[in-house]
């Protein structure tokens, strides 16, 4: 039964290497209305903007940090609840720039004094069009080039050392999305309003004292003031840590700020991707085992064996 054990071991190696792969993707390098500096920086955004020469007066003792590579903006028309309409615009590096104003980041040093706040300010650098789910040919929504907008997310702490998205409010320059094609054109220009919902289901939550990263969150939704039209915002490739980014202990890099190595991913270990890996690994291992067991059970024919027959003698010349 030894080879069975070897196979089991092999199978578990496969499974664990797949698991390891999926949890590896975790690490990514790294409502105020105060007027911003207008010194726009290329994405990715990181606030507080430590070591960005355009911004002065950053408190180097600040203990929290947000990193963000982009947003996905979704517009929903839920007039017909059984046939929801969506259109999406992806804002990625090159599509927008970010800015920072004093007090855009609120990092209480005492965890009980939450919420923690981050204000995200973006300005599009080109016209961004979004297609709807049922027509990928003609753009259904648009964010004009040069549109600047801001919103603030609040991360509420809970007494059991967790944090979660507890609020999202638009700034004095709310996001505006133009509807170009039915059903979005009837709404005209949709403006995000601060009545927000789906905070709890956006999946933005973590453990205090650990890092948190996400490749794409679920959307949290803003009202637009127009019935049954809503603007949702998803954070793309983001990382948040609420405490401990000040590396006082690092003698090689005094004054550096970076995320810790303990990072939780918003995608659980058993994501659809890892299941795909696990199942294909198991199928392959099953095939291997089947082949091996089949070969093991092959018996050579002994029908013509004649033990009484004179043995063949081979003379070896020296
Ligand atoms: C943050 O780092 C700076 C520079 O090393 C240090 O002076 C300061 O005390 C640190 N703050 C905290 C809260 O650790
Ligand atoms: C944090 O604040 C709470 C309430 O304000 C206080 O009881 C606690 O001692 C503070 N903790 C620290 C470490 O300052
Ligand atoms: C939207 O449609 C245009 C025109 O067909 C296409 O070029 C573009 O790639 C589409 N965008 C997305 C996000 O699918
Ligand atoms: C988060 O905290 C703020 C301020 O304490 C509060 O107004 C808000 O309702 C909280 N959000 C949630 C979801 O608990
Ligand atoms: C600031 O940035 C420069 C170059 O971008 C880098 O060489 C330097 O080490 C950074 N300083 C800190 C304290 O991170």
Lowest model confidence (mean pLDDT) among 5-19, 37-51, 187-201, 284-298: 5-19
**Residue 287 to residue 196: CA distance in whole angstroms:** 52
Lowest model confidence (mean pLDDT) among 7-16, 23-32, 110-119: 23-32
Q: Is residue 91 part of a domain?
A: yes
Structural domain count of the chain: 1
Give the ligand 5 atom nearest the CA of 50: 14
| 166: pLDDT strictly greater than 70 | yes
* pLDDT at position 96: 94
For residue 9, name the pLDDT band (cuts at 50, 70, 90): very low
* pLDDT at position 4: 42
* pLDDT at position 35: 58
Ligand 1 geometric centre to CA of 256 (Å) = 10
Q: Taking Cα atoms as reference points, which of 90, 130, 100, 123 lies closest to residue 233?
A: 90
Q: Is residue 223 part of a domain?
A: yes
Q: Is residue 40 part of a domain?
A: yes
Q: Is residue 316 part of a domain?
A: no
Q: Is residue 225 part of a domain?
A: yes
What are the pocket residues of ligand 1 if the criterion is a CB atom closer than 6 Å to any ligand atom? 60-61, 246, 248, 254-255
Q: Is residue 127 part of a domain?
A: yes
Q: Is residue 307 part of a domain?
A: no
**Residue 144 to residue 96: CA distance in whole angstroms:** 11
| 30: pLDDT strictly greater than 50 | no
Whole-model pTM: value is 0.76
42: its two tokens? 């290329």
Residue bearing the bigger pLDDT, 139 or 12: 139
Which ligand lies nearest to the CA atom of residue 245 in the structure?
Answer: 1
| 126: pLDDT strictly greater than 60 | yes
| 15: pLDDT strictly greater than 90 | no
Range of the domain at 163: 3-266
What are the pocket residues of ligand 5 if the criterion is a CB atom closer than 6 Å to any ligand atom? 51, 255-256
Backbone angles phi, psi at 289, to 5 degrees: -65, -45
Give the ligand 2 atom nearest the CA of 111: 1
* pLDDT at position 252: 79
**Residue 220 to residue 217: CA distance in whole angstroms:** 9
Q: Is residue 317 part of a domain?
A: no
* pLDDT at position 288: 95
Q: Taking Cα atoms as reference points, which of 58, 157, 60, 55 lies closest to residue 113?
A: 157
């Amino acid at each position: 039964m030894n080879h069975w054990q070897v196979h089991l071991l092999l199978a578990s190696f496969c499974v664990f290497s797949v698991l390891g792969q999926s949890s590896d993707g975790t690490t990514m390098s790294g409502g105020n209305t105060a007027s911003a500096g207008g010194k726009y920086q290329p994405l990715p955004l990181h606030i507080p903007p430590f070591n960005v020469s355009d911004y002065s007066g950053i408190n180097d003792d600040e203990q929290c940090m947000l990193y963000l590579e982009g947003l996905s903006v979704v517009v929903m028309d839920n007039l017909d609840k059984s046939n929801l309409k969506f259109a999406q615009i992806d804002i990625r590096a090159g599509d927008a720039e970010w800015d920072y104003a004093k007090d855009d980041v609120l990092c209480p040093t005492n965890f009980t004094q939450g919420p923690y706040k981050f204000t995200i300010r973006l300005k599009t650098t080109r016209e961004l069009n979004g297609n709807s789910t049922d027509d990928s040919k003609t753009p259904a929504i648009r964010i004009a080039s040069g549109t600047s907008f801001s919103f603030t997310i609040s991360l509420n702490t809970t007494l059991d050392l967790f944090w979660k998205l507890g609020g999202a409010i638009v700034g004095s320059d709310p996001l505006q999305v133009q509807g170009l094609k039915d059903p979005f054109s009837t709404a005209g220009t949709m403006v995000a309003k601060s009545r927000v919902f789906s905070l709890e289901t956006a999946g933005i939550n973590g453990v205090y004292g650990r890092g948190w990263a996400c490749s794409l969150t679920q959307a949290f939704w803003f009202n637009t003031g127009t019935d049954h039209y809503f603007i949702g915002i998803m954070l793309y490739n983001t990382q948040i840590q609420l405490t401990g980014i000040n590396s006082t202990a690092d003698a090689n890099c005094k004054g550096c700020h970076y995320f810790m190595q303990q990072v939780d991913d918003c995608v659980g270990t058993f994501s659809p991707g890892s299941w795909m890996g696990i199942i294909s690994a198991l199928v392959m291992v099953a095939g291997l085992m089947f082949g091996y067991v089949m070969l093991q059970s092959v018996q050579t024919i002994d029908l013509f064996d004649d033990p009484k027959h004179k043995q063949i003698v081979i003379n070896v010349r020296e």
